[in-house]
Structure 1
Amino acid sequence: MYFLGIDLGSSSVKVALVAHTSGKSIAVVQEPEKEMSMFSRKKGWAEQSPEDWWNHVCNGIKKIKKKCQIPENEILGIGIAYQMHGLVLIDEQGNTLRKSIIWCDSRAVDIGNKAYHEIGEQVCDTHLLNSPGNFTASKLRWIKENEPTTYSKIAKFMLPGDYIAYRFTDKVNTTISGLSEGIFWDFKEDNISKTLLDYYEIPSHFIPETVATYTHQGNLSKSGAKESGLKEGTPILYRAGDQPNNALSLNVLHPGEIAATGGTSGVVYAVTDNLSVKESSRVNNFAHVNYQKGTVKNIGKLLCINGAGIQYRWLLNNLGVTSYQEMNKLASQVAIGADGVCLIPFGNGAERMLNNQDIGSRIVNLDFNRHTKAHICRAALEGIAFSFVYGIEILVSDGIKARAIRAGNDNLFRSGIFASTIASLIGQDIEIYDTTGAIGAARACILSEKGYETFSAYVKNDYVMTHKPEKERQHFEIAYQNWKKELEFILNQ
């Protein structure tokens, strides 16, 4: 018997199959093979078709069933992870009213910034733990102001994962964690934010029924079963946004535990039970997967670094090298500090942790007579690692006390230089695990039945290695302070 996990990203859908009793990963497939389409009618806009998501989910399920020769009656439950902050709108008949405005769409920035000042920064910080920013609530207000005909037809809004669950079950519901990522949750009142709804003039009946993150959220309907190729009545047992889910996948559940991701962008996600915020303009705060109304108040502090792996990929494409392995080997030939070369990696748009400044990427102190592409590779790995350390310093200033840091065995964390630089500068071990968001979502189905101890045992079986701080950290510290000096010079120009 098996659990099925779905991870809906903005570039693809990943579907995983894990064994029910052991949590062992059986297979993971991706659909489509190439990146999903994204629509951008204006600069800063980003939209995707919810119907396309559903088709890719169904195709991915059929692909993994065929690959593993698994009949539908052996799949006991489904877990869903999804791209956060998107807006899906349906009418009374359950039809989508327009394409989804997804997480990276920036059209509602000014609306959210205005709300932050007019509602009151202190009110937002203490109740919402965030500025309304460019999140789902602000996107919904944008629809009200700019597409009134569409707005008049809305029956419910949903987040992307809610929509996938709806297509499976014909039930419209959401989670507290999901509402918090849309900035609809009042943490002080421990309820949906009446203040935000009133300010944005959003009717409360637009909000779906709320269910627990891991519970029996609904059964596959006849149509959901037919389209997906699964058995009618199969339950949805878990749902969470991609970053809380990635943290869960790495067994990051308790205050002081941190999950790090070094993909195209970088993420540092730290769990705390402290509702006070200091860095709400640079750090987002969401209800973690184990937040429970009235009892467990675990918050996930999410710090995003846009200019991370995309910097290293750009170098791969433009530096005359054939692989990341070659780049890592070149970098290992150069001493800590890259002989003075500093690389500022923020070339992927505005950085929230830099107060939304868009400073671009820069290489400084390059000597044409002395430095080679090996120095640039080293400076790139260090520069991205330094940006993670800079972000962790922001989280520490926001009250985080790190006691465990865990990361997946992929992308940047495969580089010993990258991981060792971070570990040495923060003085903390970094544990590496061989898991993914889709696998985590599948394993999370066990939570409703057997709880966190069983789930944690599954993850511990994926342990790969630990990057420990170097005993001699002086050279790391000198290189980091030189990098930080260059960054602050740019920020203060």
Structure 2
Amino acid sequence: MKYVIGIDIGTSAVKSVLVSGEGKVVCEHSEGYPLYNPKPGWSEQNPDDWAERTIVSLRRLMDKSGAKPSEVEGLSFSGQMHGLVLVDGAGKVLRPAILWNDTRTASQCRKIEQTLGSKLLDIARNRALEGFTLPKILWVQEHEPEILSQAEHFLLPKDYVRYRLTGSFAMDYSDAAGTLMLNVAGKTWSPEILQAFDLPMSLCPKLVESSEQTGTMLPDVAEAAGLLPSTKVFAGGADNACGAIGAGILGEGKTMCSIGTSGVVLSYESRKDINPQGKMHFFNHGEENAFYVMGVTLAAGHSLSWFKDTFAKNLSFDGLLEGIEEVTAGSGGLLFTPYISGERTPHPDADIRGSFIGMDSGHTLKHFARSVMEGITFSLRESIDIIRQSGKEITEVTAIGGGAQNETWLQMQADIFNAAIVKLESEQGPAMGAAMLAAYGCGWFSSLAECAEQFIRPAKTYAPNKEQVEVYSELFSVYQDVYAQTRGLNERLAAYRK
């Protein structure tokens, strides 16, 4: 028997999956770690927590599965994007990691825009948003210059963990694309961007393909993890790129919708000259010389969990959603906008806030729950429409994440997107994508697409209902009016937020 391991470095936990040569997930194990919020808007973690819990996760994965260390040929990574890790020449972490959901860098984003102007979208293909890495480096440069002066390299979360396992520094293109320092089409660090902010090129680690081997396990780490020092370690990719690989988004027209805490619509793109002008993200894929466009709803699943925790705390999610299929499309004239954490696509607006519109005394908890789900899906439809407007035909969407766990929601996506929705047989998300990169890197397959044919199997397809499509199309036009008509109100209310 032969295996590979996929490791996903998430925001709340590391997840490891052991996958066989047939693509079966034989075993999985997760280990949590803390998140720190030392000031309002700040979000930090200790990079050593990621590394130490990863090693523990690997050891427990091997113990639980009973697999022999000699049967594990390789491992690879998926990781939360954008998080800044600064290390000195000895690889020592210089300060806590600043994460993707940290919002302290608004002024640095404006500085980037003012300094680079249109060159930012021409080179990095993405707007300057608080979550990205360059604004975080500039924040350290401004507020902690003594820290930056000691830094030999900046790394992203999975890259630091991989360094701890192998002793080598590297970063793959899919994760580097989320730093605002990469020439995305040219696949090189941008001297023009770095020089504009007095950042040395040496701060950037070497760039590699996601499937490239970056080393083997350090002997002491291998022993602690229950693996052999000869275990091959591959670069891995950004969580969204790995999620795309794990969902089989490996060809023109392939599209996925992932609903977790945030929501993502991602579509494969082979053309490197595409420039969405900041309407959507444009990143390098984990597949060599491929790209993807991506739209983000900041509070997708988070909107539903917020609603449950606030208004139905004693109910489980299954209890909250029980009977929503009996509520007609449009939730009895009740409309929800999921802007409770601001919005990203198509409105990069940190100040907009959510709303329920159309409430009356006849609405029940089920109307509200369905309305929240519809509002989340309408927000994701905006990303689908932007991709379609670029000339792509989207007739099928693979659903992953929490939004793929409820049949009513899957049908709702089919009707709102007007596309067939595919649910996978075994959906492991980014961890599966990382395992597939290891399998491909080990030479098990001639391409990631061939690997996907073996590893990924559809379970069920939900076809759009013509009548529901028409209803939702009309409601969607109302949804699209809400942002403009509530923006001014939210600006006036901002002073009262505590």
TM-score (norm 1): 0.92
Of stretches 325-334 and 158-167 in structure 1, the one that deviates more from structure 2 is 325-334
The answer to whether residue 134 in structure 2 is matched with residue 137 in structure 1 is yes
Q: Structure 2: which 5+ runs fail to align?
A: 490-498
The answer to whether structure 1 residue 477 and structure 2 residue 469 are counterparts is no
SS of the counterpart of 1:89?
Answer: strand
RMSD, aligned α-carbons: 2.0
C-alpha spacing 1:485/1:130, structure 2 compared with 1 (3 Å) = closer
Alpha-carbon distance, 1:11 to partner: 0.7
Corresponding residue of 1:377: 369
Shift of 1:258: 1.3
Q: How does 1:356-375 map to 2 (within 5 A)?
A: 356-368=349-361, 370-375=362-367
User: Which of 259, 262, 265 is matched with 1:265 structurally?
Assistant: 262
Q: Verify the 8 A CA contact 2:330 2:475 in the aligned structure 1.
A: yes
Long gaps (5+) in structure 1: none
Q: 1:416 to 1:482 in 2, by over 3 A?
A: farther
Q: How many Å apart are 1:318 and its aligned residue?
A: 3.4
8 Å Cα contact 2:46-2:97 kept in structure 1: yes
- TM normalised by structure 2 equals 0.91
1:421 alignment partner in structure 2: 412
Shift in Å at residue 54 of structure 1? 0.7
Which residue is 2:47 aligned to?
50
**Which deviates more, 271-280 or 201-210?**
271-280
CA deviation after TM superposition for structure 1 residue 278, in Å: 5.7
* Contact 1:278–1:398 under 8 Å retained in 2: no
Aligned counterparts of 2:59 and 2:391: Cα–Cα separation in 1: 46
Of stretches 193-202 and 345-354 in structure 1, the one that deviates more from structure 2 is 345-354
User: Using a 3 Å threshold, how does the CA distance of structure 1 residues 378 and 187 change in structure 2: closer, same or farther?
Assistant: closer
Q: Distance in 1 between matches of 2:483 and 2:396?
A: 28
Q: Which amino acid letter does the alignment assign opposite residue 451 of structure 2? A: F
Aligned length: 480
2:23 aligned residue: 23
Q: CA deviation at 1:315?
A: 2.5
Identity, % of aligned positions: 24
1:38-89 per-position Cα deviation (integer Å, ceiling 9, x unaligned): 2222221111001000111011111111211223222110011000001111
1:109-156 C-alpha deviation (Å, 9 max, x unpaired): 3212321232122x2222211124332122122222211111111111
Cα distance in 1 for partners of 2:354, 2:88 equals 44
The one of 192, 198, 201 aligned to 2:195: 198
CA distance in 2, matches of 1:143, 1:422: 42
1:156–1:206 CA contact under 8 A, matched in 2: yes
Task: Give the CA deviation at 1:238.
Answer: 4.2
* Rounded Cα–Cα distance in structure 2 between residues aligned with 1:271 and 1:233: 34
* Alignment map for 1:87-486 (pairs within 5 Å): 87-121=84-118, 123-134=119-130, 135-276=132-273, 279-291=276-288, 296=289, 298-320=290-312, 322-368=315-361, 370-398=362-390, 400-408=392-400, 410-433=401-424, 434-436=426-428, 437-448=430-441, 449=443, 450=445, 451-461=447-457, 463-472=458-467, 473-486=469-482
Which digits, 9 at most, give the CA deviation of each residue in 1:388-417, with x for residues without a partner?
Answer: 112222333455442542122x41222333
Shift of 1:199: 0.7
SS for the counterpart of 1:26 is strand
Q: Do 1:7 and 1:13's aligned partners in 2 also have CA atoms closer than 8 Å? A: yes
Code of the residue aligned with 2:383 in structure 1: it is G
Kept in 2: contact 1:59–1:228 (CA 8 A): yes
Summarize the alignment of residues 5-84 of structure 1 with structure 2, pairs less than 5 Å apart: 5-19=6-20, 21-32=21-32, 36-84=33-81
Answer whether contact 1:129 1:275 (CA < 8 A) is retained.
Answer: no
